[in-house]
Structure 1
């Protein structure tokens, strides 16, 4: 068995995120939409199940396959890509989630965080999987398309997204019968409910409110059983969350993985990360002047700002920099900190706010902070933008 990782987004040098598929799907059809929203922050790579998507390998007749086997193969593929010992984040849907959970158990020093979607510590029953495997051996994977269309997607999704749903159902019809049946056997034997307490990596369990195969209670069991778990239930989602709610899933994966990375940072690493963000937002010239002007009296304060404001807050994943600039501008207008306001008008432009959007922020502040405060803010902003040739 040999799995090849497929790059979906990002590039070498970014944190590695390894995503996995649901049974019967191509990982590209399932995860590409979400990966588009993650490529700026992660090197997103994906793996396919035996006989699915780009994975041509299928087990010989009579060969038993386990979830642990699949996890070991994914780990070997990561070693080949990033080197032995490389750490990575994982995210997987259904059987992909089971494999991700197995990786967190079998390679705890390697897995930084795990997002487990529409899955469980045990899925279905041995009898149900034996019946599914027998049906596929007898009639082939195309015979599953109609039932899967009903089970995979929340009401209305097929009508809203015919291209995406068709791509996934086509991947099912093209999946190798023997490969599909072998994964059914692996799921029949998979049950790590008694081992959940061993999982030390932070786990985000994502459930679909309409999922009948792995209902929210299945994900709640995982979130409550691991050492550091959290449950989120996605409305208007059934069993294939990465395609049904791609932007929402991407945002949650980003927040969870970055939060896990932040919790492992030393104070020096937080300070270094803060200095990077401070320079990107305020500009090298400003930061160099502030650093050069530091004295014995002010030097520790400069370090404090870099660590706690820039490293502790501005690096958090919950808001993008545009949103943070809106909040900072409003707070500075309200408090009358005009020198800081001038600096953050420039910072807002670096963070992507347009002149028109800065105007709207000040107009909004006129209502909630006061007209005199907004009047002064307009004067400060006008001066800054004029100096920069933008007004």
Structure 2
């Protein structure tokens, strides 16, 4: 790799096995994030139909390689393409094509790839991004702060800019992980990406983009508001825009199910119903199944898994009386003490410590009565 091309690290997300029989989908991150924290949940709705490959920016996530030289967005796109070439070679598809989805600077890289490698990108989903993002003064101010105080200084502002109202309260663990990835980002890597974004402007080249583009905006995104995504959709030859309600700047993390469905629709041509089939269920049908007692015998999950899921749901909703009865039933159905303990520990992270603590008290009472 030539000195001006930045180091880019490939990331295989959890559960994303190598599937060379499936089309390759490349996922790009946002500034200050890691691919793992931003895309993991969303990727869970994609790996059955795609061979999913993500990448980390210099100094971000798994990529600790930061060169002394800065780089342009075009050079960053070359670095991403080099990583993709390596994966395509492993698939015996040297010079092959791929689909792309990226958020923020990841979306800017997607635009650059569409311009510089038009015959390689079959289609693209560009999220919370723009053909130009911010202005020189804004980027200079941010770079000055990080140069003096490091990336942790960006956490308070990012917590406000990144998320739609209510997200941090609903998903405290995920919000913490995303902001933690920002504090872990190398200062120099962050600064180099900022410099590349400050110089990035392809507004006058949008008409060159031939591949179909879906531009996805967050209704609450103050960094790249919906008008910037409409500009992309209107400027390319084959574009459309979707605006997600209750989403800020990090759509793949804030609305993973919706983003996965949009990617499947756009890249694979699935209808909205088809795209949602693997992600959602008909609530009326499920309610009817439950009333008839047949929900527990549906083939998609075994009874053991359904028992654990029900424990989690009852904890999350604070339905303590039902939890008491359900825990007694789970013991007779064969759930072990260790499984119940691990399930409750998991809820402590994702459902909140207060409800999990109450659940542990209930479980302890049930187990003590069982031993008596």
Is the pair's TM-score, using the shorter chain for normalization, greater than 0.5? yes
The C-alpha deviation readout for 1:342-364, integer Å capped at 9, x for no partner, is xxxxxxxxxx899xxxxxxxxxx
Aligned to 2:87: 81
Aligned to 2:236: 226
1:135 aligns with 2:145: yes
**Contact persistence 2:261–2:276 (CA under 8 A):** no
Aligned to 1:386: none
1:51 aligns with 2:59: yes
The C-alpha deviation readout for 1:144-170, integer Å capped at 9, x for no partner, is 101100110000000000111000000
Q: Hey, which bits of structure 1, 4+ residues long, moved more than 4 A?
A: none
Normalised by the length of structure 2, the TM-score is 0.70
Normalised by the length of structure 1, the TM-score is 0.67
SS in 2 for 1:112: strand
Match of 2:222 among 212, 218, 222: 212
Cα distance in 1 for residues equivalent to 2:271 and 2:59: 37
Match of 2:35 among 15, 23, 27: 27
**Contact persistence 1:258–1:317 (CA under 8 A):** no
**Gap runs ≥5 in structure 1:** 260-315, 327-351, 355-391
SS in 1 for 2:132: coil
1:258 aligns with 2:268: yes
Cα distance in 1 for residues equivalent to 2:177 and 2:276: 35
Superposed displacement of residue 318, structure 1 = 3.1
Superposed displacement of residue 186, structure 1 = 0.1
**Contact persistence 1:78–1:86 (CA under 8 A):** no
**Contact persistence 1:118–1:214 (CA under 8 A):** yes
Cα distance in 2 for residues equivalent to 1:225 and 1:245: 26
Aligned length: 272
SS in 2 for 1:19: strand
**Gap runs ≥5 in structure 2:** 1-5, 282-298, 302-372
Cα distance in 2 for residues equivalent to 1:46 and 1:76: 13
SS in 2 for 1:320: helix
**Contact persistence 1:59–1:182 (CA under 8 A):** no
Cα distance in 2 for residues equivalent to 1:121 and 1:210: 19
Aligned to 1:320: 274
Superposed displacement of residue 212, structure 1 = 0.4
Considering only CA atoms, is the larger Rg found in Structure 1 or Structure 2?
A: 1
